[in-house]
C-alpha cells in the first residue's frame, strides 16, 4: 500500500515541476554523535564552528530524537519514514539473531531493508534526481545495498557498520570476509583520513550534477564518530592541551574526530556557496543515535563520549541514547531559530519529500510527520500525541525496553521484570528521579498508550527463554 500511494503521488507531482528547478537535498548523518557534542548544543570542549554556522542559518532542534538507540534501525526509519518496530528492524544485522544466554529471547529481526518499501531515493529518482549514497550504509546484505533502493551510486556503503581504521587503507585485506571494509574508494596515501575522503567524493558529486543542471539527493553518511576512535594527531594534541583536570569531557581523541567531522561539514557548506546553489539547496544534519559512553580502547581511563547532562548513551532508551542534534537549513525556512518540539528520525522522510514538492501529508501512511511547519515557524507545534521507542534487545548494560515520550513526560518499560520508570523531562532532563510511584496513575496511562502503540505497529516482543528457566535462574 505504501509503495502504491507514493508512486501515484510522485507521478502526479512530477510533471508539474521541471526537474531542473527542484531543490538539491543533502542529508548529513553522523554516526554515534551525541546530543551535547556540538558547541551550539552547549559543548565547552569541542570546536564546531561550521555546524554552529549552519544552526545560525537554519533551525536547531533541542528535542530531536533518533528512531532507536542504535544505528541500523534509525537509518531504515530515515529512508522509509516508518518506525523500526513496524519494519521489524530494531537491531543491526550482526546482532539480529538470538544468543540464548539471557533471561529473554530477543525477537529475530530482519537483517536487510526489504525492497518492498519505497525509499527516499526511489521517489527522488522518479522525479529526475541524481541520488548518491556516500559513507556508511549498514542496512543489510549485497542485494539490499544502496543501488537496490534507488541510488545511482554507492561509495563506501556496505553491510558492515564501521571501518577497520580511519586511516588509509581502510579495507583491511579488501576481501568480503573482512568484517570491516569500505568499498569503491580509489587507492590513496597513508595519511588519507576516511572522513576527508568521503567528503572529497561528495564535493565531486555536487560539482558534476550542478554542471549538468540536474538536482541531486546526497546521502553523506559519515562513519565518524563511530569506533575505532582515531583522531588526527595534530588535533589530538590540540585538545589534549585544552583539557583541564576539572573538565567534564576528557577524551582528546574523540574531540579530534568531532573536530574533523565539523571541518568536513564546513567543506560541504563552502562548496554550496562556491557553486552558487545556496538558494536552492536544503541541508539536514543529524546523528543516528546518542554518543557511545564505553571505555576508549586507546586509553582505558577514558570513556569515548560524554552525553552530560543527559543520562546514559548509545544502546539505551534514556535520553543520552536517543536524543540527538538536528539542524535544518534551506530556502524560505527560518534562520537562527530554535525549536523545542519533540521530533524524530522518521520525520525526515516526509520533510525531504515536501522540500522537493513531492509530498502531501494528508495522503501519507507513515510514522513520520512533515516538519515544514516547524521549519517555517519554530514556535509552532505538531499534531502528534507522543513519540515511541522500542528496543527489545540486550546491549551491554541495557536490557529489552520500550519507551514513550508524551509532552514532557517519559515512561520506560523494561521487559525482564516489568519495571516502569517515569520522568518529567522539563524538570529532570537527566532522568535522575523516577516518579512512577508518586505518579502511578500517569505511569499506568502511559504504559497503556505504549502497549496500544506496540499492537498497532506489530512490534515484536521478547519472550521468556525456556533454557534460562530450566537453569533455575
Cβ-based neighbour number of residue 316 at 10 Å: 27
- Per-residue pLDDT tens for 198-257? 999 999 999 999 999 999 999 999 999 999 999 999 999 999 999 999 999 999 999 999
Residue segments in the chain with a per-residue pLDDT below the cut of 70: 1-18, 20, 96-99, 171-181, 184, 298, 300, 361-363, 469-473
Q: What pLDDT score does 173 carry?
A: 52
Tell me if the pTM is above 0.75.
yes
Q: Which residue has the cell 528457566?
A: 469
Q: Which residue has the cell 572522513?
A: 195
DSSP 135-154: E---S-SGGGSGGGGT-SEE
- Per-residue pLDDT tens for 362-383? 567 899 999 999 999 999 999 9
Q: What pLDDT score does 397 carry?
A: 80
CATH superfamily of 2-382: Alkaline Phosphatase, subunit A (3.40.720.10)
| Contact by Cβ (8 Å): 289, 70 | yes
Q: Which residues partner with 167 through β-bridges? A: 193
Q: What pLDDT score does 359 carry?
A: 82
CATH class of 389-470: alpha beta
Q: What pLDDT score does 176 carry?
A: 47
In angstroms, the CA 23 to CA 209 distance is: 12
- One fold for 2-382 and 389-470: no
Return the domain boundaries, the chain: 2-382, 389-470
In angstroms, the CA 170 to CA 175 distance is: 12
Amino acid at each position: 500500500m505504501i509503495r502504491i500511494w507514493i508512486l501515484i503521488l510522485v507521478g502526479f507531482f512530477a510533471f508539474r515541476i521541471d526537474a531542473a528547478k527542484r531543490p538539491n537535498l543533502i542529508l548529513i548523518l553522523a554516526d554515534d554523535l551525541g546530543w551535547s557534542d556540538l558547541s551550539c548544543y552547549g559543548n565547552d570542549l569541542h570546536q564546531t564552528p561550521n555546524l554552529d554556522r549552519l544552526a545560525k542559518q537554519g533551525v536547531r532542534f533541542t528535542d530531536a530524537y533518533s528512531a532507536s538507540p542504535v544505528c541500523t534501525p534509525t537509518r531504515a526509519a530515515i529512508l522509509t519514514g516508518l518506525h523500526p518496530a513496524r519494519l521489524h528492524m530494531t537491531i543491526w544485522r550482526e546482532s539480529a539473531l538470538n544468543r540464548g544466554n539471557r533471561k529473554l529471547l530477543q525477537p529475530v529481526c530482519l537483517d536487510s531493508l526489504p525492497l518492498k518499501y519505497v525509499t527516499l531515493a526511489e521517489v527522488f529518482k522518479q522525479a529526475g534526481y541524481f541520488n548518491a549514497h556516500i559513507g556508511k550504509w549498514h542496512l543489510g546484505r549485497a542485494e539490499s545495498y544502496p543501488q537496490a533502493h534507488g541510488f545511482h551510486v554507492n561509495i563506501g556503503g556496505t553491510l558492515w557498520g564501521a571501518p577497520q581504521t580511519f586511516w588509509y587503507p581502510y579495507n583491511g585485506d579488501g576481501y568480503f570476509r573482512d568484517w570491516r571494509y569500505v568499498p569503491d574508494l580509489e587507492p590513496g596515501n597513508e595519511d588519507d583520513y576516511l572522513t576527508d575522503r568521503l567528503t572529497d567524493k561528495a564535493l565531486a558529486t555536487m560539482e558534476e550534477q550542478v554542471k549538468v543542471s540536474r538536482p541531486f539527493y546526497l546521502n553523506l553518511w559519515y562513519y565518524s564518530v563511530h569506533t575505532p576512535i582515531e583522531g588526527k594527531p595534530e588535533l589530538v594534541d590540540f585538545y589534549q592541551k585544552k583539557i583541564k583536570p576539572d573538565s567534564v569531557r576528557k577524551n582528546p581523541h574523540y574531540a579530534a574526530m568531532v573536530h574533523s567531522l565539523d571541518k568536513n561539514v564546513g567543506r560541504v557548506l563552502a562548496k554550496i556557496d562556491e557553486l552558487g546553489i545556496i538558494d536552492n539547496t536544503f541541508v539536514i544534519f543529524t546523528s543516528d543515535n546518542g554518543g557511545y559512553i564505553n571505555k576508549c580502547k586507546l586509553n582505558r581511563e577514558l570513556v569515548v563520549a560524554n552525553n552530560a547532562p543527559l543520562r546514559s548513551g548509545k544502546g539505551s532508551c534514556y535520553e543520552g541514547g536517543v536524543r540527538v542534534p538536528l539542524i535544518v537549513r534551506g530556502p524560505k525556512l527560518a534562520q537562527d531559530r530554535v525549536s523545542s518540539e519533540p521530533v524524530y528520525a522518521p520525520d525526515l522522510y516526509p520533510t525531504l519529500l515536501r522540500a522537493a514538492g513531492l509530498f502531501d501529508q494528508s495522503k501519507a501512511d507513515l510514522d513520520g510527520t512533515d516538519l515544514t511547519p516547524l521549519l517555517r515557524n519554530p514556535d509552532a507545534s505538531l499534531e502528534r500525541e507522543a513519540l515511541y521507542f522500542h528496543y527489545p534487545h540486550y546491549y551491554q548494560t541495557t536490557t529489552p525496553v520500550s519507551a514513550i515520550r508524551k509532552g514532557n513526560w517519559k515512561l520506560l518499560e523494561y521487559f525482564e521484570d516489568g519495571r516502569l520508570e517515569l520522568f518529567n523531562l522539563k524538570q529532570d532532563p537527566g532522568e535522575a528521579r523516577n516518579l512512577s510511584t508518586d505518579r502511578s496513575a500517569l505511569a499506568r496511562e502511559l504504559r497503556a498508550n505504549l502497549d496500544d502503540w506496540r499492537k498497532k505497529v506489530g512490534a515484536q516482543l521478547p519472550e521468556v527463554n525456556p533454557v534460562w528457566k530450566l537453569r533455575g535462574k
